[in-house]
Amino acid sequence: MIKKILLLSLYVAAFSACKKDSQGGEQITAKDDAAFSLYEEHFLDDLWKQNPDWATTVGYHKYDSLLVIPSDKNRDQAIHFTKTQMDSLSRFDLSGLSEPNKIDYHLIQNQMESMQWSMEQLKAYQWDPSSYNVIGTFAYILNEHYAPLTKRLRNFYQKMAFIPAYYKEAEKQIKNPVAELTSLAIDQHLGGVSVIETDFADSLKKTNIPAAEQKLMLERAKVSAEAIKAFAAYLKALKNDKPRSFRLGKGLYEAKFKFEIQAEASAQQNYNSAVERKKYLHREMTKLSKQLWPKYFAGKPMPKDSFQLIAQMIDTLSAKHVAPGEFQSAIEKQLPKLTAFITSKDLLTLDPSRPLVVRKEPGYMAGVAGASVSSPGPYDKEGNTYFNVGSLVGWAPERAESYLREYNQYILQILCIHEAIPGHYTQLVYANKSPSIIKSALANGAMIEGWAVYAEQMMLDAGFGNNEPEMRLMWYKWNLRSVCNTILDYSVHANGMTKEQAIKLLTKEAFQQQAEAEGKWKRVSVSSVQLTSYYTGYKEITALRDEWKKKKANAYKLKEFNEKFLSYGSAPVKYIKEAMFVVPKIDTKGN
């Protein structure tokens, strides 16, 4: 998992800022890259003005003090904005642009179409109360050290002024909301209000802002916290006789998949492919378990049922794990080993000048993932990249044991590959070398997650873990998780899979613990499509690598593929593919 606080506030619009690019003497008619770059600059500033919360979290801080009221009028303006941008784009000849600019063009176009579709078709602003949570950005302003504290607190204060009107408007917009999303919104608002109520006050004490000003700031925080709690109370009391189902349905699901994943295949095709992959993994896992059985269960009869056989092998191997207090240091020790392995096998060039900092997960992001990478935003290339590791301090022994069995000695190594080297962290270092704000801001999640999963397999294929069957079996289990995420997400949202069927799939066929399966059910009932990004990206990158290998034949080098692939930034795999296979233009007019 990669933690980038992407607040895609799709329905918001700020102060009617749609400039017509054709006005004011800046006629963009040229088909060249210089004109396109100029357009991009315009586009970005307009985009951030329209979406100040999103801007804050990518490191663009000009609009930190703003919060856009989710009114009909502002939504109309946002739709108008997307139409204006599509109109501007249509004046460029795509074939006249460089490969990197072509990708940017596609990304902007997709983003505009996606925003329009969200506002006009999906209409989550009506049925998803959790889409109104403003607290994340306030927490970001408070906790990220991009500017002096005093300045951040003053922006925080100004931004708070919009909170009461914001929630008043939110109440007007909500109609027959999804029950699961309503209770999620209640939890998030009541759980997060401490950012406004106490964390802000605590931070104020650390500054020398004059007492009189501080008093005003605290008063406004009080009013804001009350508005947030009132919204939660409103949701609790809401009479909702005909709640909308949390299931998206086939039509909306396909469309959302198209905009978010930007894959070559449809959601349905992707689901079919995941079902095949699951069968393949089960076959391979059965073979490996049979092979390993005598080593761990000498003399004992082997279970006839292959799922039982695999489950017993995995259970036994999971007992190899670190002690609770050694989790972070085990990760720290792992990283130089990964670097050394990659260098010795010549898999790709690593840049030692951008260090990865392993740290205890900061309190304000604690919760879901045991480990994650947080990267600097596109406007903050000098910022650190962190490997956030959740601490097990204070956990009940039983809970810690279950967690450590999950992240056992094998999976812990795979986790480090995925999150760090050559997974997310390495990919980010490469992405930051391709100087495109568009590609960072509109980063494709399927490419990012797909690369991390692809990297796991690439390392194992190169012999990482001494080709031990134990390591391969455990990776298959881990890979099965991505595959089943895809199957689950599509089945639940497009095919009406029940909770009982879902739990059975995850526990019996993906060998997950009951608690993990229950957590996944909760996630799939409050989100859609994102869970498919891991497998979809992995599948597309692997297919692209195979195609590249075929084309290059004897001249094929894995290192060359890896570096070339990463050089285009966090773009959808299908566009990277287009760029990689481009035929050089021959000037037919000249000689």
Taking the complex as a whole, the smallest distance from the CB of residue 402 to Zn ion amounts, in Å, to: 9
Stretch that binds Zn ion, among 119-127, 333-341, 430-438, 451-459 (CB under 5 A): 451-459
By the rule CB under 5 A, 541 interacts with Zn ion = no
Torsion of CA 551, 553, 555, 556, to 10 degrees: 70
- 75 with 13: CB under 8 angstroms? yes
Q: Which of residues 249-268 bind Zn ion (CB under 5 A)?
A: none
* Residue 459 φ/ψ, nearest 5 degrees: -65, -45
- 390 with 366: CB under 8 angstroms? yes
- Of 101, 108, 113, 106, nearest to 36 (Cα)? 101
User: To 5 degrees, how large is the angle CA 33–CA 566–CA 538?
Assistant: 120
> Cβ closer to Zn ion: 88 or 334?
334
Taking the complex as a whole, the smallest distance from the CB of residue 319 to Zn ion amounts, in Å, to: 5
- Tell me 2's DSSP state: B
With CB atoms as reference, the residue minimizing the distance to Zn ion is 452
For the residues of 529-563, what is the DSSP string, one character each?
SGGGHHHHHHHHHHHHHHHHHHHHGGG--HHHHHH
For the residues of 184-206, what is the DSSP string, one character each?
HHHHHHHHHTHIIIIIHHHHHHT
Taking the complex as a whole, the smallest distance from the CB of residue 408 to Zn ion amounts, in Å, to: 8
> Cβ closer to Zn ion: 2 or 227?
2
> Cβ closer to Zn ion: 3 or 151?
3
- Of 376, 266, 370, 299, nearest to 328 (Cα)? 370
- 558 with 564: CB under 8 angstroms? no
Taking the complex as a whole, the smallest distance from the CB of residue 261 to Zn ion amounts, in Å, to: 15
> Cβ closer to Zn ion: 139 or 452?
452
> Cβ closer to Zn ion: 368 or 582?
368
Buried/exposed 424-435: b ≥16 CB within 10 Å, e otherwise:
bbbbbbbbbebe
Taking the complex as a whole, the smallest distance from the CB of residue 321 to Zn ion amounts, in Å, to: 6
Stretch that binds Zn ion, among 51-59, 87-95, 166-174, 449-457 (CB under 5 A): 449-457
Taking the complex as a whole, the smallest distance from the CB of residue 186 to Zn ion amounts, in Å, to: 29
* Residue 387 φ/ψ, nearest 5 degrees: -100, 100
By the rule CB under 5 A, 452 interacts with Zn ion = yes
- Tell me 265's DSSP state: S
CA-to-CA dists, residue 1 to 257, 367, 448, 518, 583, angstroms: 19, 13, 10, 18, 35
Stretch that binds Zn ion, among 41-49, 75-83, 246-254, 452-460 (CB under 5 A): 452-460
> Cβ closer to Zn ion: 67 or 531?
531
Q: Site map for Zn ion, 156-195, x if CB under 5 A?
A: ----------------------------------------
Q: Which of residues 88-117 bind Zn ion (CB under 5 A)?
A: none
Residue 2: strand pairing partners: 373
Q: Site map for Zn ion, 321-350, x if CB under 5 A?
A: ------------------------------
Residue whose tokens read 């970005």: 44
> Cβ closer to Zn ion: 319 or 366?
319
Residue 191 has, within 13 A of its CA and on its CB side, a CA count of 13
Distance of alpha carbon 47 from alpha carbon 55, whole angstroms:
8
Stretch that binds Zn ion, among 1-9, 41-49, 58-66, 307-315 (CB under 5 A): 1-9
Stretch that binds Zn ion, among 55-63, 214-222, 448-456, 458-466 (CB under 5 A): 448-456
Stretch that binds Zn ion, among 162-170, 261-269, 380-388, 444-452 (CB under 5 A): 444-452
By the rule CB under 5 A, 443 interacts with Zn ion = no
> Cβ closer to Zn ion: 225 or 415?
415
Stretch that binds Zn ion, among 5-13, 149-157, 298-306, 447-455 (CB under 5 A): 447-455
Distance of alpha carbon 273 from alpha carbon 270, whole angstroms:
5
Number of residues this chain uses to bind Zn ion (CB under 5 A)? 4
- Of 38, 17, 39, 35, nearest to 87 (Cα)? 39
Taking the complex as a whole, the smallest distance from the CB of residue 141 to Zn ion amounts, in Å, to: 26
> Cβ closer to Zn ion: 397 or 590?
397
- 402 with 435: CB under 8 angstroms? no
The binding site for Zn ion (CB under 5 A) comprises 1-2, 449, 452
